[in-house]
Structure 1
């Protein structure tokens, strides 16, 4: 039997929340519940009880379901130590280097400031899953509301040495528009061209593009590729630093 599983739950207009279930202990967590109703429906369909609510950052579309789920199930709330002032009623906080547990599933915590100053992400090797919130997206990254390009580049680089097969569960279904933008940065990238066709096919059938795989992101996501010489050449920025190139890509995406 697999150690656990991840259930993808669409919510709000384009958010994703995730149920993570440890099969050995039967402990279940929800990550970034933007609203409660779809989570409750998924739990009832599975016949599961909710034990833990986990937040990556304070934005309302990631914590909006917290209160209702905690009241209904008596679940504990875990979130970033750096955002205690902005996420109410956390029972436990964590930061870089800490370990979190969903039953027997052990998760590693990353501090990934950029989108928000206190944003964190979680990697659970037993289910080969990275829960990146709004730091890393499929073919994109979060807007820099509270951080600098240097911070976000450093944050994203923390993910690059995870196993190639890591499944990336991000906060939003932004992949199709991210793909259109990525092609403006690397129009001749054959892996990106093929991926864009796959994404268009999935969205035409109203299917999620999430999770994505880390090795595919490393080959196609311009925000992870700011130190690639061919990408720098495309931008007319050969010889400039990855942070400078990342900042230019982010600026272009903001205006795309």
Structure 2
């Protein structure tokens, strides 16, 4: 199995997970063009997976269905996703391309957001806009408690899980993460790696959960260094880890490098 991140729009990724014969899962195709171009090179989609309803993640599905009318489209149970042909939710287990997968509910960015985890070969986690490299999604429809619980759930997956997120945000997120933990050596190394990758026009993702646990401030709200930075920024100590996360997300929302 081979993972590929197809660039879309200005900073989106459409994830392709293909077998040796080119049969592939397509994850969050916000536009059809990159997938259709890949098909010209031998890609054959066998299913589309959708993590949430935002148009930059589902907007290309109608054009893809015009090309492949029988293509299954699996997404969360959300009436805003009219293109889904099958609904999956928390605890669903299935198999695609001979690979077993689990569906995890991860509300916060949106109320119906889900992630697809394939715990076998390659161990990819298609997490949409919930978990990013060095960051997490904005809370458009969820609460801090929901978002933190979702991140905790993802962080509990195996260390070698490949974090296949929906956007190229690593360098922007690194600027904020360094502000929170300026002495984090693993973070400095991750940023340097990301700079090198972007200079060669390569994606900085997937990262691994091991990397994210060591570098992503939103997975590190229990670390004393993160708690101290949030306390200093807010001018008071958060009451608990949920408030620490809420203040960290609020700080990031207004952050300018």
Deviation at 1:44, TM superposition (A): 2.1
Residue of structure 2 equivalent to 1:247:
246
Give structure 2 stretches of 5+ with no counterpart: none
Residue of structure 2 equivalent to 1:170:
165
Of residues 45, 48, 54, the one that matches 2:49 is 54
Of residues 106, 118, 122, the one that matches 1:112 is 106
CA–CA separation in structure 2 for the residues paired with 1:37 and 1:235: 42
CA–CA separation in structure 2 for the residues paired with 1:78 and 1:129: 17
Deviation at 1:234, TM superposition (A): 2.7
Q: How do residues 1-256 of structure 1 correspond to structure 2 at under 5 angstroms?
A: 4-23=1-20, 27-45=23-41, 47-74=42-69, 75-81=71-77, 83=78, 85-126=79-120, 127-236=122-231, 240-256=239-255
**Residues 229 and 238 in structure 1, CA contact (< 8 A), matched pair in contact too:** no
**Residues 167 and 212 in structure 1, CA contact (< 8 A), matched pair in contact too:** yes
Deviation at 1:166, TM superposition (A): 0.9
- Structure 2 counterpart SS, 1:235: helix
Give structure 1 stretches of 5+ with no counterpart: none
CA–CA separation in structure 1 for the residues paired with 2:177 and 2:15: 26
Deviation at 1:239, TM superposition (A): 6.9
Deviations 1:192-220 (A, max 9, x none): 11211221222222221011111010000
**Residues 109 and 140 in structure 2, CA contact (< 8 A), matched pair in contact too:** yes
Deviation at 1:152, TM superposition (A): 0.2
TM-score normalised by length of structure 2: 0.92
CA–CA separation in structure 2 for the residues paired with 1:115 and 1:239: 22
CA–CA separation in structure 2 for the residues paired with 1:133 and 1:172: 8
TM-score normalised by length of structure 1: 0.93
CA–CA separation in structure 1 for the residues paired with 2:210 and 2:185: 15
